[in-house]
Each structure stands twice: as C-alpha cells, then as structure tokens.
Structure 1
C-alpha cells in the first residue's frame, strides 16, 4: 500500500510541476535593468511587465518549447527560443534603438541625473511617444502632453504659442539640447522643422525655472534633446501625406569623419498648397505652407571623455492664408485680403568642456529670426538676433553637489513699427538689451533617500536693472523609489520683449498699443509632486504622478482686447494674477501588450485689478489627454487611439454688441492610427485625425466678408459706430480662435530605418 502511495505522490508532484511553474528572468541594457519592458510567451499568449530592476516572473502551466519576446519602447525587440523547465533565470539583453526613454534628465538641475533622483519634477517623453499621433511639427505633437496646449492665435495665419498650465507663450522657454533658443512668437518656429527621427526625448518642466534659465522661463520650459550621433540610426526616413494634401518628409543620416568626429544630419520638409474653405466664410481653413529645415550636429571624441558638440539649424517657411482667390500678386494690396509670412531663421548651439581638472563647461547659442509679413495692406518687417553664453563649474564635496555659473544674453530687435522708433518719431531706434547674470545651486544629499536643492540667480537687465530669483526643492523617496515626494518653491521673472509682445506678428487686424514702458513681471510658485509606481503579481504596471501648483504674479503684462476693438493694449496689471490647480498623470501597462496613458489638469488662471477678479482669456479650466495602444505581438500590428478634451474658454469679443458666444464649447480632438511592422526596418502607418470632425463656429472670423473694414463706421476716438449694415458694431477680426479649423482627414505614412 505504501509503495502505491509513494508512486502516486511522485506522479502527482510531477504533474503539478508540469502544470504550474514559474519562468523568471531579467531584462537588461548594458548592466542596467530595463523597467517597464514587456516579456511575452507567444505560444501561450501570456506575459509580464518588468519591475524597476528589470526582473520578471511568468506562471507557465506546461513544459515545452516556447518563443519568449522582450520589448520596450526605444529598444530593439529580442526573442529567445527556450525549453521549459529552465535550469537558470532567462536573461534578455536589449539594444537601444534610438536612445529610448532612459530616464536621464537635465532640465531640472542643468546636470544629467536620473529622473527618479531629480529633486525637480521633470516630465519626459521619448521620441517614440509622439509616433502614436504623427504631426508635421513638435508644436502640434505637444497637444498630447498633459497641461500643455498649442494655442492657435489667428484663424488665418495659424501662428501660435505654447501654453503651460494656462500661461501664455511668452512664459514658455524652449531649449534645444539645453540651450535657450526661442520664446513667445518664435515658439512656433522653434518647434517646427526639427526632424522627429532625430529627437531622443522632450523634457517638460512646469513652473518657474528662472533660477537656472533666466527670463522667459516663468510658466515652464520645453527642452528638446536631440540624439547622440553614436546612438542614432545610420539612415532613417519618415514620410506621410493627409487627405487634405499635406505632405511631410523627415530624413536622418548618421556619419563619421574619421574615428573621432561623429555627425548627425537631418532634413525636414513640409508642403501644403491646397486651399480649402469648408466653413464657407470665404477664408482658407488652413494656412498654406512650404517649409524646409536643415539640421546638423557634430560630436567630437576628446581625451578623458570630455564633451564637445556643436549643432546648427536653418528654417525657411513661406505661409499664407486669406481669401480663396488671393495670389502673391495681391501681397500687401487692399483688393484681396491675405496674410503672407516669409520666415528665415537660423540657430547654432553647443557645449565645450574645458581641458581642466575641474568640471568646467562652456555652453553657447545664437539665433537670428527675420520675418517679412503682410496682413492685408499692413506690412510688418522684423529682425531679431540673440546671442547667449554660459560658463558653469560643477563640484561635489562630501554630500554637496555645487553648480556655479555665469551667463550673458544679448538681444537686438528692430522692426518697422513705432515700437522701435525714436522719441522724435522720425528715426529708427532698435531695441538692444544686455542681460548678464550669475547663479549658484547646491544639492545636499541629506540621506540616501532625501535631498535638498537650494539655488539663487542674480541678473542685471540693461533697461530694468537687477532681478533676483531664488528657489528651494526637497525630495524624499520610499521603497526603492517606487514612492517619491517632491516639494518646490521658487521665483520667476520675465522681461518684456517687443518681438514676443507685438501681436502684429499674429494678425494685422488690430493695432498694438503700449500704454507704458513695460516693467519686468515677477512670479512666486509652489508645487507639490507625488509619484507612485505599482507592480502587481499579474504583471501589470501602474504609474501615478500627481501635482498641485500655485503661482502668484505681480506686474503681470496683460493684453487688453476689449477696450478698443481695433487695438491690443499692453500694460502692466495694476493688481495681481494667479495660476493655480492640480494635475494627474496615469500610466498603465498590461503584459498582453495594452498600454494606457492619461492625464488631466484642473486649474484657475485669473487676474485681479481694482478689486475685480476676471478669468484670463483663452484659458480652459479643465483639460485631459489620453493615449491608448495595443500591440498584436504575433502579427506585428499596433493600434493607437489618442485624444484631448478641453472645457470652455473665455473668448475675446469686439464689444457689448458682439453676438458671438463669450465662451467656447467643450471640444475634443481625437485620432486613431494603425501601424504595421515588417521586420526591423520598415513600418507602414495610417489612420484618421480629428475623428469627431470638430471645428470652431463658422463666424469665428468677424466680418470675414469685409476684411478691409470698408463697410464699418468709426467715431473720432476709433470706436465702431453701430449702423443698420453693421448693427453689432463689428470689425474684421480673426483673433476669436480657440481650436484649429482643420476637420477630419485621413493620413498614410511610411518609415524606414537602417540601424
């Protein structure tokens, strides 16, 4: 009896082992574990997601031969044939495809640190993140980033700026590889024409960053990090076309000049020449555009791994919008209305690590922006040149990591408007601003899980005098960085720049008026950030990133659209302004290939003057974004569904008689895409943009039928007189805009890459 019982026990245990066992292993890149990688057993249609150290564990019901696949955005997919049971853990070594999302950030502290170790909250989006909704420019791609909204400021010329947490474009600083390139109006050009195949990642910091970056970094900054030439594909091409006739093409080429000089070349082109007027107002719904951009980056290998790289970019664009029968022969005339903009822009930037035993780095950037625009018969010609240099010294002493720096910015601006005329009015007087500054930062590692960052900056503006900007950041982590708390407080400032304030560059329908010499704005910001990562036993990853923010402004520069319908009046607010709210980002990843990223921001941006509090124009109270992706591992097919939603915004009306809605409706822009991979080199993708076919009201352009205001009666003070032909006292005005006029359209694209 005991013999049979023993035999039965052995058979039972053998069967149980065969039916229930665990496949364990690790996914690594180099020597580091790869977090958030999908490990999938194809034959069993089951898998898991790696934890923060790259480990995974999958329960398998039966022994046998299987194909196991490890994949992660930004890495080359790896497959291994195995036979279960295995005697040792399974190890996957992944190769970076294009830099990936390596969790290294520089924007928060001006030094390369792990995103988890950074005391400053930095959001990181890999170049692959934006492939879920391909667009002709990064400007448009940012519509899928929580709390960031590309704002179109003109229904006809379609120029715009970037809003971060409700603050307008002049408060957003744009950097390329850590160097300040653009702000304000030039934001749309700085984020246009960068081949997306050359982008490693985009870092977003929300809230003042003036302590490190100076003026303009009040609302936040966007840092576009281009690829290291050593990690970029040897050759890449990405092109797509839409049903509206838009064509976009990006090329990337990696090369070497000898063994120590590495080069990365990018060419980006966009072409759209198909006038469409679906809303029937007689004006083009989408600006026609021809754009070419050339990007070149060179990196030199130096002794002791010292850094030297330099990059340059040139962008030229010819864009126009207006009445459907407009041609270049009508440019600047008063018979057929058109807004035509010729833009020529160059940039150069780089970093040189000095040959010293100390860690000394010299960083530099320079750019020139020439704009020749006509808005009907209003001509606007402007040139702006900015040169920037910065020397930093980094030193670690015990638990302290010091950063000391000195910077200088030179700005030269000239145009054909009264803004740059002399006091006599008959001579030209370009705006010239010198802005030297010094800054210091100390990151104290209190314990292995706690750090404190203290910093301060002193700038001297040649027009406005000295400005001081301090900040403090505290970080505490628990449970191997799966729970992180960050507390931040700091000061930001912004010196008014004519080029960013002069909205003649946005529309010629209104005269720009400065009521006074604009004084620097000052803001104080506090922020609380909590990050939580959860790994379930079933192989599911959940990431939670929540923030609460509060910013208080003095000397706020506010555009007044409402006092006079023919003017935009600029002056410092005789009161205060606030931007406050909460935001939440959620990330989910299931082992079966389903991923979900979502975010929402609830905020209040308002102004208070003479005891009266008003809501800021063109600012939503609520916004949400999402991206849902599912990968069919066996077929190499992926589906992406992306979108955003915005609550009503207060819109600029042309007086009390204007019968258009004072607030925009709730609206949502949604997109869907299918991507099919053929091996490791080819991808075909296609889908539909703006699935709901949402567009603003057809009457968004006031008096579109009379763009030269020939049927408008004006009083002596410039105000509009109601008449039977114009009972609502309107003038031609395209600034009543809150969303693009472009409706639903399909698109089809092709990617090819040689690694």
Structure 2
C-alpha cells in the first residue's frame, strides 16, 4: 500500500516538474535553406546537438522550428547549422562548407532568404495569394482549378507568383480554392501539393519548390529554345536573363541534352529541343547531334541505318519504348524506322549496364524512348517534311486532357519514298522506295493524389512496304520472271501495352507497378532469289515493388518478370521454330550517403533453352566536390542471338550462310554472355564566365560464347559460330560542352575503340569499326522577338577514321577491297525559324561534304554472280541531300 502511494506521489511530482520545465521552453521559427530529406535530417540533428530540445525542419516552407530552454541561445544553434553548410536568416555558410554538401543538397544560394519577421510585413491585398508556377500552361491550370472550386474569377500572375481571386464567401472559401489548386500540383501559401502530383506536371511546369513565397521564380515563361535561369548549383548562364542578387550576377541555360547528375549510372536525358536540331524523321536519326551513339548505314541496298554504342553493334544495346522491350528479335534490322521522331517526348540514354529491373539483355547500355503524352490543354501539331530526292512524310500528334484524371494521345505518321535515287550510277537504288503507315493511341489515367492509382495504355499498328535493288527492277513481275535484281520487304507490326502503378497512401516512397505488353511482328521479304520470312509473338510482364528500409537513404526494389518469344522463320527452304520462355526474379538496393550513391542489383532468369542465368549489376557514384563526380559500374548481361534477323544487311549478297553448331538450343548455338565494366569522371567548371562540363569515360566489354559473324573465311560465305577464346571491346570517350557566348553552345568529343575477337583462324579486329572518331556540334539561337519568334542554327561534323574491311583476297582483283577504308568526314546542318509559338519552318542538309562510298556494291554489274556483295558498307552511299520541313501547332 505504501509503495502504491509513493508511486502516485512520484508521478505527480514528475508531472509538475515536466509542466514547470515546459513553461521554461520557448518556441521559435527561422528561415533555413535546404533541399531534400538528407538536408532535413542534417539540420535537425545539428540543431539538437547544439542544445535544442526539439527541432523540426520543413523543406516546403524552408523553416526550422526550435524548442529551446531559457539557457540556450538560438543564435548558437543557427550558427552551428550554418557551419554544417546551410544558410539561414542570421548566418551564412562558408563556401567551403556549402560545397562539401552532397550534390542533391545544393540549394539555390542566390535567392534571398526572407525572414519570418519580413514575411509578416508582406504587402498584398486581401484577395491575393501566393501560388507557384512557371508558364502559360500553369496559368491555365491554376485558374481552372480555382473556378472549379467555386471562384467567380481567378487571375494568376507568373511574375508575382500570385493569384487574385474573386468569390462569394457564401458559396466557397479561399481555403477550399487553394486546396484545389494544390490538388492539381501547385504549391501555395496554405497548401503544398503532393510530391507525386508535382512530379506528374509537364516538364515545362516544374517550378522551383525551394523558392520562398513572395520571391520571383527565375524559370517563369521558360520555353523551348529560350534561355532561363536555373542550375543545380545556382550557376545561371544567360546574359539575357541576368539576375542581380546580393551583388552577384548569375546566368544559366537549359541543356537540350543533359547528364543526370543524381543517377548513379551514366544517364543522358535528351529532350525535344535536341531532337529538333536535325531532320529526326525516326529514332535512327535522333542521335545525329549526339556523340555517344554512332549511326551508320548497314548496307548499300536496303538503305537502313543501325546504331552502335561502346564499339559494339546495336543488338547489344537494350532498346525500349516506355520502358518496355521494343527493338529486338525480328525487329532488329528495321525497328529504328518504326518510332517517328515527332512522336518522341524524350530519350534516356544509359551507358554501360542498366538497372536489373528492366531485364537481362542490356550489355552496352539502354536507350529508352518516351512518347508524347503530357499536356494540360488540348494541343495538336502537324509536321510536314520532304527532301530533294523523293522522300516525304507527314506527322499528326494530338495530346489532350479528357477530364481531371484522364488524358489521351493520338499519333499518326505516314511516309513515302518515290524517287529513283542512284547517286553513284551503279544501277542500284541508294535507298528503297515504299511507304509506311504508323498509328498509335495512348490513354493515361492519373489519380495518384486520391486513390494512389495511375495507368498508361497504348496500342500501335505499323504497315511498312519497301522495294530496293536495281532501278530496272519491276515489282509487278513474279520473282522468277525478273531479269533485274530486286529486294522486297513487307512488314506488319501490332502491339498493345499497359503500365499500372499504385502508390501506397501515406507512404509516397512505397509503390507497386505492373507492366504488360504483347507484340506481333511479321516480315515477308526477298533478296534477289533468296526468300526470308518470319513471325514473332512476344508477351512481356514485369511486376515491381519499391519501398525503403528505415528511411529514404535505403531504398529497394524487388519483383518478378516473364518473357515469352515465339519465333517462326524460313530462310530459303529451311524452317526454324522455337519458343523462348523466361520467368525471372530480381532485387535492387539503393544506398544514398552524403557524397555517394550505390545501386546494387541482381536477377535470376530461368530460360527454357539457355538455362538459368544470374545477372548481377553494380553502379556507384561519388561526389568529390559538387563539380567533380566519379562513377563506376560493372555488370553481366546475356542474350540469345537471332542470327538471320540481325544479319539481314548481308542478305543482299551471294554469300552462303553456314552455322557451325556446338550443341546449343538456338540454331545449335549457345547464348551470348558478356561482362561490362565502366568508369567515368565528370568535371564542371566555368569558362567565359559560363558553366562548362567535361566528361571522360572508359568501358570494357568481355564476351563469353559470343556469336561471331565471320565475313573473312570466304567472300562467298557468311559463317556463324560461338566464340572460342577471347572477345573484347574497349571504348574511351571524352566530351566537352561549353557556351563561349550567349545562346551559342559547343559540344566537342573524341572516341577511341579497340574491338577484337578470336576468330577460328586467329585474332582480328571487328570489321566496320573505326578506332578513332571525332565530333563537333555547334548550336546558336537568336533572342526571341515580341511574338516569340527566333532563329536557330545547328551544325554537326563527324569525322570517322579508317576501318578494317572483310578479307576479299580470294576474289578476282577487280572485286577485291583494301584491307582498310579511307577516313572521311560528314557535315550536317540545319536552319530553323520559329515565327511564333505555333509555326516553325526549317531547312537542312545531310552529308554536305558529299563524301560517299563509290564502290559500295562489289560486282554490281552481275548481281546474280558469285562475287556480288552489297553488305560491304563503311560510309554513306548518298551524296549531299537537302530537306525542308514545317511544324504547325494548333
């Protein structure tokens, strides 16, 4: 009993002590700059160590709320916070302490801190409220949301970042209206939009969330082709939009191609501004102003282009659309022509091993294409294109919202090549004639804010017919009646896909996504007297769960995938059928530290023909300083070779095909396995008073059981077999991007490749791969006039060193090729005029140096003879070609 009473007395005493102690605490708020969750954790930890009883930091309002005792000085706490690198309203961090922060924590130092006391004295009218936004799309969205919430009228001012409301208090309230505005993605002085809602805004609408309310947004009215103030470190590089704050002049510009500094891997983001620098009629032409990807003609008859990366063929790069497998299997040869350039919203290019969540086939990297699908108001665009050699095309794109949650996209493309182009007078068309009809429909649902659901649906149909060969070829005649050599390619392709995601309520870091796709691809073709046809059915499914371990510094993904490929091929009289069934599981862990990011993943795939395959991958990024970043990567990949579909460039010849089987289950061959290792160093600095970046990277790829395509055993034979020995590709690239003066961007690059393999008769360099390559891109645009009009000028010079050519020494002397080709240079250029925001016209030229391979076809006079070969192409086969185009937006 006494013990019970004593416990009650002790409890009462402690309660009174707590009340007395609490009365001696004081609460205060201060403005402190920060960016992310790491900033929040650092600021709160420092404040508590400095004596604060409680410390709560809000990233949104940039305020630190402190609870302190009477014997603790808030000045001392704020001083410690500044010493940790965070500017605040009383103390400024030293440059050294600021720059020692991780890259993601670098807030904008040039924007003045508005103290909590100053905020109380802001002068604004009773019906005016701060709302963040950027552009005309933001203005339309904010005003519509306000009216939907009951406002009689609403006018948003981009410069003041303020909305003026007129409403009947009996019907609605300012709170209700501002809540609705936040619901559509715009932070305001009373409500913050959810992260997922903000991130789903169009890229032009992504305002700076760190700018305190009441300060001008430096990104306001930034549009395509226009310089604007923003950079990761507050380095702004635009004379036109200079900003003078605290005696500092800062300038900046938006890069059309940018290296994602937050990714652990080497990831480049290519936006529509970059794609508009060249003709960009399809994906194969989207990289003509990019130094990372090499674009070349695959042969002299079909005129198709192929990509190469890190010194290896396109088949070793994972080519995806909407993060779903796209150009692979039977589509390998011509798939680049099936994604029109005007359909592309952006491209993400990853060098080296990519994430394991996207599959096992990526060896040299991944190229992902995102289609147009983001718009807050209806927008329809028409593109017309024609060159001076009989090629014409038209594109219609329409993106529009249906209601608050649904939006849709219509994409239509048609092209035709009608002229007989034979610039080298060899009697063969330099590019095929024919037509393509390509249509797609995308439907998007976004209700992440309320239900946590989002979904994307797409459907695409393509019909492509091409005729090539000798100019005298008559496609109306039966193949057996032809006297001229002809090539016919007829492709039908249908695909449907869906991606659905769910974000768990109250857990924005936790989500579940499910992707599904079905593809049907059929090709019927002939090359002279040779027939090749194939059908492919593919079903792909990928389920991904993402969450954290404790906090957002420890993230993980886990999931399962399934791939089914059904192939039916016929070459001459031989039939090849197989079904590949590949269930798989994977997991990936991301660790984010103060200066580093580590992404480690692995997957296991259970291939019914290739056996169980284990695929580990690792990416590591370390920021020595905010301007110096080191990246390391290593990973494994595997793939099954489609030897016929991937080697169609050699079908336009009289080579006999031979497969040296070794007991594998796919054409008698084993799957290809490769390890890729990479390192890159990124250095930023200022030159001419503007931001400049140099990136140097080195990658090595080592193969096991590579399927070699041997063109050297005999000029009359094409031999496939698995590697016995070593095969490697070393790739070195250095690239320098800088802006010597306003509106003028320069990109310089040099690439070195060393690619060798142990063939059956000894080690040799891989053919058609230049060891040395140089690249120069110059881009200039004028300032916009009052109507939004401006001129743009762009030119790209590619220099390609000598390449080893296949051995033709056993041919008669007149049909022999030299051991190495000549080096050559190609110059492309384009001039465009934006008359206003709606109309753009452009004029350009390709291969303006007019260098072309004069003897692109071996023994072209006798295409049915033993020595005929149209696959020995190392350079362009067409001289200079001019084109014109028009873009109109409604």
1:732 pairs with 2:868: yes
Counterpart secondary structure, 1:325 = coil
- The structure-2 alpha-carbon separation of the partners of 1:158 and 1:184, relative to structure 1 and needing over 3 Å to count, comes to farther
Q: What is the aligned partner in structure 1 of residue 618 from structure 2?
A: 472
1:369 pairs with 2:545: no
Question: Which of 428, 446, 451 is matched with 1:301 structurally?
Answer: 446
Counterpart secondary structure, 1:170 = helix
Contact 2:373 2:399 in 1 (8 A): no
* Counterpart mapping for 1:60-209 below 5 A: 115-183=260-328, 186-209=331-354
Q: What is the aligned partner in structure 1 of residue 682 from structure 2?
A: 531
Contact 2:376 2:401 in 1 (8 A): no
Counterpart secondary structure, 1:503 = helix
CA deviation after TM superposition for structure 1 residue 55, in Å: 5.6
Q: What is the aligned partner in structure 2 of residue 30 from structure 1?
A: 207
TM-score for both structures, normalised by structure 2: 0.69
Output one character per residue of 1:116-165: Cα deviation in whole Å (capped at 9) or x when no partner: 22111112211221211113211122233223223322211123432111
Identify which range, 288-297 or 195-204, moves more after superposition. Answer: 195-204
Q: What is the aligned partner in structure 1 of residue 232 from structure 2?
A: 52
Contact 2:589 2:599 in 1 (8 A): yes
Question: Which of 218, 234, 249 is matched with 2:379 structurally?
Answer: 234
- The structure-2 alpha-carbon separation of the partners of 1:744 and 1:92, relative to structure 1 and needing over 3 Å to count, comes to closer
Q: Distance in 1 between matches of 2:760 and 2:403?
A: 67
Q: Distance in 1 between matches of 2:573 and 2:611?
A: 21
Identify which range, 518-527 or 194-203, moves more after superposition. Answer: 194-203
Question: Which of 680, 689, 700 is matched with 1:550 structurally?
Answer: 700
Counterpart secondary structure, 1:496 = coil
Contact 1:38 1:591 in 2 (8 A): no
Q: Which has the higher contact order (CA 8 A, sep 6+)?
A: 1
Contact 1:332 1:379 in 2 (8 A): no
> Mind listing any 5+ residue stretches in structure 2 that lack a counterpart?
1-109, 113-132, 135-205, 212-217, 222-226, 662-667
> Mind listing any 5+ residue stretches in structure 1 that lack a counterpart?
1-23, 41-46, 60-67, 71-81, 106-114, 422-428, 713-730
Contact 2:235 2:251 in 1 (8 A): no
Q: What is the aligned partner in structure 1 of residue 34 from structure 2?
A: none
- The structure-2 alpha-carbon separation of the partners of 1:87 and 1:211, relative to structure 1 and needing over 3 Å to count, comes to closer
- The structure-2 alpha-carbon separation of the partners of 1:695 and 1:476, relative to structure 1 and needing over 3 Å to count, comes to same
Q: What is the aligned partner in structure 1 of residue 460 from structure 2?
A: 313
Identify which range, 252-261 or 465-474, moves more after superposition. Answer: 252-261
Contact 1:509 1:734 in 2 (8 A): no
Q: What is the aligned partner in structure 2 of residue 276 from structure 1?
A: 421
Contact 1:581 1:601 in 2 (8 A): yes
Contact 2:391 2:416 in 1 (8 A): yes
Q: What is the aligned partner in structure 1 of residue 754 from structure 2?
A: 604
Q: What is the aligned partner in structure 1 of residue 823 from structure 2?
A: 666
Contact 1:524 1:551 in 2 (8 A): yes
Question: Which of 643, 666, 672 is matched with 2:797 structurally?
Answer: 643
Q: Distance in 2 between matches of 1:561 and 1:610?
A: 12
Counterpart secondary structure, 1:385 = strand
Contact 2:557 2:589 in 1 (8 A): yes
- The structure-2 alpha-carbon separation of the partners of 1:583 and 1:38, relative to structure 1 and needing over 3 Å to count, comes to farther
Question: Which of 839, 851, 858 is matched with 1:682 structurally?
Answer: 839
* Counterpart mapping for 1:138-537 below 5 A: 138-183=283-328, 186-209=331-354, 211-230=356-375, 234-302=379-447, 303-330=450-477, 332-333=479-480, 334-354=482-502, 359-397=511-549, 398=551, 399-417=553-571, 421=575, 430-445=577-592, 447-479=593-625, 481-498=626-643, 500-501=645-646, 503=648, 506-507=651-652, 509-516=654-661, 517-535=668-686
CA deviation after TM superposition for structure 1 residue 488, in Å: 1.0
Contact 2:236 2:250 in 1 (8 A): no
Output one character per residue of 1:88-141: Cα deviation in whole Å (capped at 9) or x when no partner: 9999999x9xxx9697x9xxxxxxxxx222111112211221211113211122
Counterpart secondary structure, 1:139 = helix
Q: Which has the larger radius of gyration?
A: 2
TM-score for both structures, normalised by structure 1: 0.81
1:704 pairs with 2:860: yes
Counterpart secondary structure, 2:742 = coil
Work out the number of aligned pairs and report it.
Answer: 657
Counterpart secondary structure, 2:419 = coil
- The structure-2 alpha-carbon separation of the partners of 1:87 and 1:584, relative to structure 1 and needing over 3 Å to count, comes to closer
Q: Distance in 2 between matches of 1:38 and 1:644?
A: 34
CA deviation after TM superposition for structure 1 residue 741, in Å: 1.3
CA deviation after TM superposition for structure 1 residue 25, in Å: 7.2
- The structure-2 alpha-carbon separation of the partners of 1:361 and 1:634, relative to structure 1 and needing over 3 Å to count, comes to closer
Q: Distance in 1 between matches of 2:682 and 2:395?
A: 36
Contact 1:486 1:528 in 2 (8 A): yes
Counterpart secondary structure, 1:191 = helix
Identify the structure with the greater helix proportion: 2
CA deviation after TM superposition for structure 1 residue 32, in Å: 5.0
CA deviation after TM superposition for structure 1 residue 230, in Å: 2.6
Q: What is the aligned partner in structure 2 of residue 695 from structure 1?
A: 852
Contact 2:257 2:268 in 1 (8 A): no
CA deviation after TM superposition for structure 1 residue 179, in Å: 0.8
CA deviation after TM superposition for structure 1 residue 611, in Å: 9.1
- The structure-2 alpha-carbon separation of the partners of 1:304 and 1:618, relative to structure 1 and needing over 3 Å to count, comes to same
Identify the structure with the greater strand proportion: 1
Contact 2:257 2:270 in 1 (8 A): no
CA deviation after TM superposition for structure 1 residue 506, in Å: 4.5
- The structure-2 alpha-carbon separation of the partners of 1:542 and 1:705, relative to structure 1 and needing over 3 Å to count, comes to same
- The structure-2 alpha-carbon separation of the partners of 1:533 and 1:306, relative to structure 1 and needing over 3 Å to count, comes to farther
- The structure-2 alpha-carbon separation of the partners of 1:189 and 1:608, relative to structure 1 and needing over 3 Å to count, comes to closer
Q: Distance in 2 between matches of 1:341 and 1:675?
A: 34
